[in-house]
A and B are shown apart, each in its own frame.
Chain A
């Protein structure tokens, strides 16, 4: 068993070439903060990118940043903060959910897992912000795609192709991201006491208004006490985040209170509490309490989320909260994940996907972690894998069909 710790892109290339020639599969990791997600990978050798670090280009006025794949996200975010900028898609931090430290994770992992956060609704995910990559395919060939400019349609967008691929197509060595100004301030508008259906309706009204809401979540009674140190009093909370320049935020909060004033009693959270709340919503905080119970992240049509939960709860016990206007459901199971029942219900409600982001090894080995794909799509995905990594050198088995 060997751990390779390359310091340069050339060393990554050399390592993959060696693995290809030896037909020796590699587990590709950064900090390993998301190692618990996906099918367990069992390889004799590990390609550890945590020494391939450093921001290589940052031009705040050009809204662009490039860094080597092993650069810590925390380092990038700290640098951006100095210039009042950020990764606008608000990459979530899986660490705490697995009982790990917060603030770990690398840029390569961020792209491989296509991370996003509550602002997904407005700003997109990692895929929407990656501008270019340099990578080494499972064939042992270095290639680049994209560039450093936002508007670029020159050739296929292989950088997007690597987003969400969990390191099974190629090993990114350098990644260029679009960065954006951070909002001057934020406030969260909270409505108390709505049930899931009424909350869904309120979130749809808010998102369909000109209030430019950048986070819409519903925290039902069963979980609301675990947010912001129990700072919410009573019943469920439907929370809407408004970000921007001070005068604009005040104006839009006022707009929301006029639009939703009759939906329940409303209050606002100030900037500090708001920041904390959305970080906790982002990271699955209520379920990051050391328990190993299975956790799903389910993505469906926003207006159907509460119907899914309602139906599923008749079959299995689960604790839930909603992000993305009701379309992202965080769900902790009381017992087994009940994958088949859940996925059947998702299909019945118009489609979506369920990811078993946390579960004991034995369950993950027996349950498809990622949503199974229809045959023609699975065949196409397998052909794509074959084109990038014909010998299945990179993270073999991490995604179910690979």
Chain B
């Protein structure tokens, strides 16, 4: 992907840059338009820092009406637009384009309504994920999806990426926790979907929007479900001699009807890197470590801790500790939460992957990764959302060594191919963006992809919104609209039955 090809810049747009900037200043007065090169530098990449591109201009609107006017303006003039929230995407979803307006939603930063009776919060899209929880925690509530970037990532970006986190198995992804949105289409139309009521009728456009990576519309308001904080939570730290035994333990916990609030696994290299870094007291003589967190009413948690410990022992656990205080539980998690920076300490650079696999395939995928690690001569450490099969291999490399980044990327692509081969998918929560765009055909046929692009055509027929992301090739909508008629005999007609 280092040879990433982005859509060719529109020369007419580049030529009109000064005029476009002036018009943007009319739509968004004040400080909302940034065009100086040194000031735009802050926006040239997102969380996937290997890729950088200066935008045409950066615009920071404050109202839905401004967003609508900007998009309508660009639509009428064939100008591309890249939306951006906090810019924490790990897949390059907010990577600018040379000829595109970068529409930054960070000034949409207010919470509009907190409604405890209906357990809902209405927020502008630039509010951070954690900001929602902070706004309601004094009343004992929280917002459940918790991507690891939650301190910075915006709720609008969460909708665009259908963000997950460690609590997904029990509490769902963003898609399951968003009740409604207001969005603006590329033609400037403002559309409201859902709200505090459930299951709005008509096509599930909310479902299509969630995870659409900024290619369908720009979210200008979000209504989310908030939940009462579980009364208590306890964690178990369980070590196993092999990932097979740990995997079997996970399967049996779920088989016993227990859905933990969080269930994380780390492999040997990840355990040792984390323990060296934060000294969480992780056992170093094990090859797989499970953190199982049970949350809910006190009576339930105490009941289930015992059952999970029993299951762990039956599956060959060599160590097992249950937290007895919130402080101890925090220590159990400290190593897992610091796993990425911990790996960062033992290698100049690392590349984080994000495939999902059917859980039972874990031993096969880990074995495959070991083989690939030898083939490429690069080390790999694994952290794994064990409950839902979402795997985050961290490939260790040194960008200063010529060719090593490319090698890491090829290694990563091979891992994702392996995920697809065993029945999994290319990305569990980081998105396709530009990073995995060219791997999409590994998972989808041309017909599959064309039907997805046709959805894009219903929302943005000119392909002006965030082009170059998700799809390896954006076929023209007119071309895709053509019908291919297969003439044939009437197939196996049955007789009329009534």
Contacts and interface: CB of A to CB of B under 8 A. Distances in A.
Asked if A pairs with B, the answer is yes
Interface of A: 1-6, 11, 14-15, 17-18, 20-22, 59-64, 84, 114, 116, 120-121, 124-125, 127-128, 137, 139-145, 147-158, 160-161, 163-165, 169, 180-182, 184, 204, 207-212, 244-245, 247-248, 250-252, 255, 299-303, 324-325, 327-328, 350-353, 355, 370-371, 373-374, 376-377, 379-381, 383-388, 390-391, 399, 401
B448 interface: yes
B431 A153 contact: yes
Contact of A4 (B162, B427, B492): B492
A124 B176 contact: yes
Interface in B212-256: 212, 228-231, 251-252, 254-256
A383 B456 CA distance: 10
Contacts of A250: 299
B427 A301 contact: no
23 contacts: A4-B491, A5-B494, A114-B199, A120-B198, A143-B448, A145-B451, A151-B428, A154-B440, A156-B456, A157-B208, A165-B203, A169-B203, A181-B254, A208-B141, A247-B299, A248-B299, A252-B297, A302-B118, A352-B195, A353-B201, A376-B191, A388-B451, A388-B454
Given A156-B211, A248-B303, A143 B198 contact: no
B458 interface: yes
A161 B207 contact: yes
Given A324-B198, A380-B459, A251 B298 contact: yes
B425 A156 contact: no
Interface string B467-498: 00010000000000101111111111111110
B389 A164 contact: no
The interface centre, meaning the residue of B443, B457, B458 with most chain A CB atoms within 10 A of its CB, is: B458
A149 B297 contact: no
Interface in B424-440: 424-432, 436, 440
Given A147-B424, A149-B425, A164 B448 contact: no
Given A149-B357, A153-B211, A351-B195, A302 B117 contact: yes
Interface in B18-42: none
Interface residues of B, number: 110
Contacts of B119: 207-208
Given A153-B428, A160-B204, A20 B198 contact: no
B454 A149 contact: no
Given A153-B429, A157-B175, A164 B204 contact: yes
A399 B164 contact: no
A155 B444 contact: yes
Contacts of A143: 445, 447-448, 450-451
A245 B444 contact: no
A3 B300 CA distance: 53
Contacts of A255: 297
A338 to B, nearest CB: 19
B67 interface: no
Given A3-B494, A128-B176, A151-B164, A62 B358 contact: yes
Contacts of B450: 141, 143
A390 B452 contact: no
Given A139-B484, A154-B426, 15 more contacts: A61-B254, A61-B359, A120-B199, A128-B175, A143-B447, A151-B385, A153-B431, A156-B455, A164-B204, A165-B204, A169-B203, A211-B297, A247-B303, A248-B300, A255-B297
A189 to B, nearest CB: 15
B1 interface: no
Contact of B486 (A21, A63, A149): A21
Contacts of B201: 164, 353, 355, 370-371
A147 B493 contact: no
B269 interface: no
A328 to B, nearest CB: 7
A387 B454 contact: yes
A208 B228 contact: yes
Nearest to A20: B485
B304 interface: yes
Nearest to B454: A387
A61 B259 CA distance: 11
Interface SS of B by simple majority: loop
A160 B211 CA distance: 11
A229 B385 CA distance: 47
A371 B195 CA distance: 14
B78 interface: no
A5 B256 CA distance: 40
Interface in B368-420: 385, 388-390
A251 B388 contact: no
B494 A251 contact: no
Contacts of A1: 496
Given A207-B119, A244-B300, A157 B211 contact: yes
A108 to B, nearest CB: 16
B485 to A, nearest CB: 5
A245 B195 contact: no
B117 A160 contact: no
Nearest to A324: B198
B457 to A, nearest CB: 6
B161 interface: yes
Contacts of A355: 201
B261 to A, nearest CB: 12
Contacts of B359: 61-62
B432 A153 contact: yes
Interface in B109-128: 115-119
Contacts of B297: 210-212, 248, 251-252, 255
A156 B208 contact: yes
B427 A154 contact: yes
Interface stretch (B165-173, B275-283, B315-323, B332-340): B165-173
Given A248-B297, A301-B197, A350-B196, A153 B161 contact: yes
Given A153-B431, A163-B204, A180-B259, A147 B175 contact: no
Q: Which of A114, A152, A180 has the most CB of B within 10 A?
A: A152
B185 interface: yes
Contacts of B443: 147, 154-155
Contacts of A325: 118
Nearest to A134: B448
A63 to B, nearest CB: 6
B210 interface: yes
Contacts of B487: 21
Contact of A210 (B205, B229, B251, B457): B229
Given A141-B451, A147-B424, A152-B428, A3 B197 contact: no
A118 to B, nearest CB: 12
Given A301-B197, A353-B200, A380-B185, A142 B447 contact: yes
B3 interface: no
Contacts of B481: 387, 390
Nearest to B189: A376
